[in-house]
Structures are given as structure tokens and as C-alpha cells.
Chain A
Amino acid sequence: MGNFRFNLLVCAGTGCVSNNSFKVKAALEREIEKHKLQEEIQVVTTGCNGFCANGPIVVVKPDDIFYQLLTEEQIPHLVEEHFLKGRPVEKLMYTPSKGGAPIPKMSDIPFFGKQQLIALANRGLIDPENIDEYIALGGYQALSKALTEMTPEQVIEEIKASGLRGRGGAGFPTGKKWEFCRDASSAKAGSARDGGAGTSPSAQERTSGLALKYIICNADEGDPGAFMDRSIVESDPHALLEGMLIGAYAIGAGQGIIYIRGEYPLALERLNQALEQARDYGLLGEEILGSDFNFDISVSKGAGAFVCGEETSLIGSLEGKLPEPRVRPPYPAQSGYMGKPTNINNVETWANVPHIIKRGADWYSSIGTETSKGTKVFSLVGKVNNTGLVEVPMGITMREIVFDIGGGIPDGKKFKAVQTGGPSGGCIPESLLDTPVDYESLTQAGSIMGSGGMIVMDENNCMVEVARYFVSFTQEESCGKCSPCREGTWHMMNILDNITQGKGQEGDIELLEKIGKHIKETALCGLGNTAPNPVLTTIRYFRDEYEAHIRDKRCPAGVCKALITYSIDPQNCTGCTACAKNCPVECISGERKQTHVIDQQKCIKCGMCDSVCNFDAVRIE
């Protein structure tokens, strides 16, 4: 293989692709050919780098030079300056939002430097469509070790010792979960051969149509805005496959299923490619790596229901039945898919497994806190400078994530809260910014870890509206089986709708608290149990905002349309007519160079005038 001088890693995650990273790649290849540098420089597309707001991204290896926000037009100059003349181009590098010199090296950029990658170890480094690159960086070594040097029981002990907990949100100890499934007997109906725990299923077993046991990967990722799992599947699908292979070996499962949400076309494509390549290498199928272990994986697409993230609803969906949570016990480990013992884990959980087997439980458990070991992937979004995907050791504080890695709040605004855990979670206010991120601490603060969503909010986010938004989501996604969730969240939504429209009544806060508490205690599954959380935590920490909406009919953050008015400040207005020209309902009047006036009767509070005004003359209160 020829010795390349440089590898140009072009990010081809969904974010960068939608920002034309493929065009950037084509331009790079063109220019490199023009300067006859093809023998020296290799251009490779990789999965998501995580710094999604700054794409398209190209990382130059081995020097680790980081280029961002690239356009096709900038490429000829870049190629000539950096690769021909050896001068990296500063104006294409990352510059801290607070100002200062550009930072050339990726590892020096705080967003990257403070992360610790395990599940995302290969992101941005390998071409996810080439299995050889995964193997080049150590891939499938853990599988080889497990199959040739460890017994299934030893693998489970290693996972137990590592302290790995489910990354889908519930945080159940993974090793224990695997053990339940391994110990379950699958000697019940449907199996031609009485397998019992631990027997490797034979080809004969598979032709009967049903495996002895199943493992499932939950890639439904329903939380709005969450993209941790999507990133792992797009950037490093083999990490998931290797994790499942090791898990199947440990549990004694003959078949695996990946349930992936239908809204992830790129991830699905890369996944199917990875499966094909793995099969070509015999890493899936029969007698894997020369052992007597047989295992293969099929893929099923979700059809747009958040409730399918709940494991028994997911199983229902796979079986072609209504997706609704089932009576437990029996738990999936005893009777799951098609009545067989089934172990379900989240994508990120599976992706951690190869690293634990390769480097050992001692190494893994040295990272994190006493009760929460390892790292966690978070999608850091919202009102934060460095938006993207971060993987950090458990125990890091919220403050470090938002300010050191995230680079703080843009536009000089004030931090207000971080919403964690999606629609099942809650808000962490400023007073709790030093909360360490781990399962127990977040729960104590009234929120949850969840699958890793982290939405940063500033002074212009209305917390009542945030609660209303999340409840309307869970309301729409409720499966409808149990009365408290189906009816209760509908009532909560109506009450919140009224409050944000200025129709709240005295006593509504207590009403929401009581209904919320009842729903939490009586609902059937996690969706219902946690749906009231956004409401309860915002009431707990931002009660004054609720009171302002109800008593004063006022939205302090200036968000709830029914409670705000847009007006023009005569002090600042220059009469430039920009607002009048752009108003979609033509409700602004005024002569040139005269103060303009908004007709309150016609104003639809769209905010267009504010966004086009260059003189800060629009007042929202």
C-alpha cells in the first residue's frame, strides 16, 4: 500500500452532507489531481465528527489540523497553500467565539480536547463504508479475544465488573441483564431442540425459523433532537456489530435484530453495507472466526412511534402487533421476541462492549464515578456556541460541558437552564450547574440522564413553553393503552396550552403538580411515568415564570405569543421602512424617516420586524 503523506478526512455525517461536504470532497479531489498530488494525499470520507454546527469539516492527518465551515470555493486556495506550499490556512480554522487566535490542532480545540472517546472512538477517523479501516484501528480484535480466549460466562463477568449500565436511559446494569437472559431457559414451545442456556445454536435450529434466544439493538432513538445513536451507526457501524456479536456469544443468542427508526436513511444505508461486508468476511454467519459460534443480524425499520423505544412495545412492533407495552412479568429476558428469551440494549451500550473486552473491566471502571462508570455521549444543542455531539467521562460537571466544551452561551446572553433526558427529563437551573453528570445525581436534581439529550436554554427561553412543548410531544406519542397517560397527559397539555395563551387560572400550578404526581405513580410504562417530569421540574425551579403567566398574563422571556406585544421604540426607530416592507401581514405603517407603528390588532407576533431591524428598535414585552 502506497505511503500517503496526508490523509484528508472529510466528514460525511448527515449534518455535513446536508451542507455539501460531498461537493467539498469532490473539489479536494479535483485540485489534488490538478497539482498531481494523488500519490501523496488520500481523501477519505468519515462519519460524523460531532462538531456539527461547524461543518463541512476536514481534518488533516497526521498533523491533526482542523478545518471547518468549508465551501467548495475555498478549496483551490486551501490545497495550494497547505498541501503544495506547506502553509496551513488560518482563516479556515476554528476560532474561539470569545475571540483570539485560530486553533489549528483538533486536540487543542476545547470542544474536542476535553472529550474522552470510547463509543465514538473511531468517529471522524475511518471510512465507515470500509471494514478494513475498522479492522486497521483494532476492530474485531475484541471479538477474536472473546471467541478464542474467553468463555461466555467470563465475558459476562467482565461486563459486570466494568460497571457498564444501559445507555438508553434506564441505566440498568448491562452485565446483570445479560446474565438474566443467559440463564433463561428457552426450552419452551417453538424450539425443535431443547437448548437450555449457553448452547450455541446450530444451523439446524435456524432452519426451524426460530433462534433459541435473541438479542436486539434498540436504535429507535425517539427523543426529539437526539442523534447519539444515529452518529454511532453512521460513523462506526462495525462498533455496534462487534458489540452485538460479543453479546450474542455471551448470552447464547443465535439471531440479532437491529430496530432502527425509519427516519435515518443514511444510517440505514451504512448499516446494511457494514452487515454485507461483515458477512463477506465471515464475521456474521456460521462458524465465525473458525469457532463454533453462529450468529447473524437482520434489520427492521421503525414506523414513527416514540413508544417503540420502550422495549416491550418494540418487540410488539417487530412481531407485527400493536406497539404497546406488555404485562411484565414475564420480562423480555425470560419471554421476549416470539416468546423467546431476548436481551435488548441501546446502540451506545453495544458500542462500549468491544472496548471493555479489549482493554478490560479495570480500565473501564477507572473512568467515571462510583456508581456510573465509563463515558456517556451527549448531544449538546440549543443556546450554546459549540453545538454537536460530545462524549465525556461520567462525573464531569454540567458547567464544564456547557461552558468549557460548549463554549458558553452565544450573543452574550445569560444561561438559564439545561434540559436533559428529552421528554422524560427535566431542567437543571444555574444553581445546580456544578452537578456531576451521573445517573444518581441527575435523578436527585429532578431530571434524568436519559439517552443523552442536552438542550441549553438562555434568558429567551420560556420555561412554561418548554414544558408545554414536551408534554404535547408525549401526548401525541402516548400509545393510549393506560388511562393515566392517555387521558392525564391530554389534560396537562390543555392546562399548559391555556397558561401560555393567557387563560391560566389561580390554582393551575397546584393542579399541574397534583396531576403530574398521579400520572407518574399510576402510568403503565416509562413514557407515562416520566411525561410529567418537564412540567414538575420547571415548576420546581421556575415557578415565578408560571406565576407571571397566570397572574400577570405576562411571558417574562418574551416567547408566548398571546402574552407578548411587539412595539416600535421611537427613540431608536430611524424610519428605514425595513420592518414595514417585510411584515407578512402588512401591519406596520409609517413614512420614510418617521417612527413606524405596529397595528396590534393585525400583528401575528411572527418576529419578522425584529429580525430585519438594524437599529434595535423593536420591543418585545
Chain B
Amino acid sequence: MKLKPEDLDKIRERMKSTARLREAEGKAKINVHLGTCGIASGAREVLHAFLKLVDETGGEDVIVTTSGCAGLCKREPMATVEIAGEAPVKYVDLDPDKAKKIFEEHIKGGNIVKEYALAVGSERLG
């Protein structure tokens, strides 16, 4: 199939999620914590919820990733949301519905969902 210049754009569009993953340059990053405790309390469902939301809304600047246990096992499932240029926000006691709200209000709207948040920023000493 012989390409026209517009077709190059179409292919880039189609491959957007791959590019996003490879270049890892997102405006927002959702890090779902998947330690044993997290998995046991349903973190995988939270993960899948976020993945579906990103896919459906075509959030091209959002990266969903996972990491190990964040340390606060009692409040799992947990996810840390990092908007570029802002301090990371740790959300606790999550489920797929809460994930949806966080996605719409924080990621898309820019407003932290305070009721689900544990803390803003990283651990402090003392």
C-alpha cells in the first residue's frame, strides 16, 4: 500500500501506545503497587481498570506501570499518581470504581481526589 504523507500520521496514531511505552515520556504516570499484599487485596483489578480507562479515552500522555510493595500493606491496593512537574500522590484502599474517579478528576481534571489520598509527596523523615 503506497503511503501518502497523511498515512504516516495515521500509522503514528495507531502505534501511539507503543511509542508511549518505549519513549516513556508521559504527562502522567500511574504506578499501581503490586506487592503480594496488593495482589491479594485486588490490585490487579485496579490495574486493569486503569489500563482500560487509558485505552478507552485514548490518554496518549498517560503511562500505567507497576512496581512492588509501597510499604503500607494495610492500605492496599495502592497507586501513586505522578503528574509531570507535580509531587506524586499516593492513593490508598482502592478499587476499580475509585480508580475511575481518580482517572477522571485527577489525571484528566488536574484535581487531587483528597478523600482517597494518603499523602502528597514522598516520605518525609521525622
**Chain A residues with a Cβ under 8 A of chain B:** 1-7, 9, 40, 61-64, 84-88, 125-126, 132-133, 135-138, 140-141, 144, 147-148, 280-283, 285, 287, 289-290
Contact = CB atoms under 8 A, between A and B. Distances in A.
Given A7-B21, A85-B68, A283 B3 contact: yes
Contacts of B4: 289-290
A339 B21 CA distance: 49
Interface in B1-39: 1-5, 8, 11-12, 14-24, 26, 29, 33-36, 38-39
A64 B24 CA distance: 8
A3 B51 contact: yes
B68 A136 contact: no
B12 A135 contact: yes
B69 A126 contact: no
B99 interface: no
B55 interface: yes
A62 B18 contact: no
Contacts of A138: 12
A137 B66 contact: no
A5 B11 contact: no
Chain B interface residue bracket vs A: 35 or more
Contacts of B69: 86-87
A108 to B, nearest CB: 13
Given A85-B36, A282-B1, A5 B51 contact: yes
Contacts of A86: 33-35, 38, 66-69
A1 B39 contact: no
Question: Considering the complex of A and B, which 7 residue pairs feature the smallest CB-CB distances, nearest first?
Answer: A282-B2, A136-B15, A86-B34, A62-B24, A87-B68, A86-B68, A3-B55
- For the complex, would chain A's binding face be called helix, strand, loop or mixed by DSSP majority? loop
B5 A136 contact: no
Given A85-B34, A85-B35, A85-B36, A61 B1 contact: no
B35 A3 contact: no
B8 A140 contact: yes
Given A85-B39, A86-B66, A132-B15, A144 B5 contact: yes
B19 A62 contact: no
Nearest to A62: B24
Contact of A7 (B12, B22, B29): B22
Contact of A289 (B3, B12, B15): B3
A93 B46 CA distance: 29
Given A62-B63, A281-B2, A3 B17 contact: yes
Contacts of B55: 2-3
Contact of B65 (A62, A141, A147): A62
Nearest to B52: A3
A126 B12 contact: no
Given A3-B64, A86-B66, A136 B12 contact: yes
B78 to A, nearest CB: 11
Given A3-B51, A85-B68, 7 more contacts: A1-B15, A3-B54, A5-B65, A7-B22, A86-B38, A137-B19, A144-B8
